[in-house]
Amino acid sequence: MRVQHLVRRTISSVSQKLPSQEEIELVQQVLRASEFALWSAMQPRDKRHSIEVLRRFDCLAPAATTSERAAALLHDVGKNISHLGLVMRVVATIVGPRGKRFSLYHQHEELGAELLAVASDARTVELVAGLVQDPIAKALRDADDI
């Protein structure tokens, strides 16, 4: 992972500002109710990041399906399982998967896919899990490289 990406992501994560009502309505237009419940449990910084990723993804993959757009919003949903705040996420990124919570943080794609397995469809799950290498998966990775 590039250092520049990590620095920008950390700076944008300092605020705990909630997404606007307009942004929440955008999310609700994309996600199923079961997916929206998982998205709603994310930290405010992750919600804002997911909306920014969706906007970038929409530019990179304008013909993407609703399931693929959902993956853009839910790609970090597994991070909630570690219960790490901003500072500890930075530490976990630097020191790696040492200890249970840091390991959970580093397994967020797999854990997110497990959460989504009962709430979403197969295409969303495989994109969140990083199981596919196709143009949509590349667009999602590029959109996340903020």
> Which residue has better confidence, 105 or 142?
142
Beta-carbon contacts of residue 146 (< 8 Å; ≥ 6 apart): 5, 8, 9, 12, 49, 52, 53, 56
> Could you report the per-residue pLDDT of 10-69, keeping only the tens digit for each?
555 556 789 999 999 999 999 999 999 999 999 999 999 999 999 999 999 999 999 999
Residue 73: which of 16, 32, 14 has the closest Cα? 32
Tell me the whole-structure pTM to 2 decimals.
0.85
> Could you report the per-residue pLDDT of 75-129, keeping only the tens digit for each?
999 999 888 888 887 888 888 888 888 887 788 899 999 999 999 999 999 999 9
How is the chain split into domains, by residue range?
A: 3-144
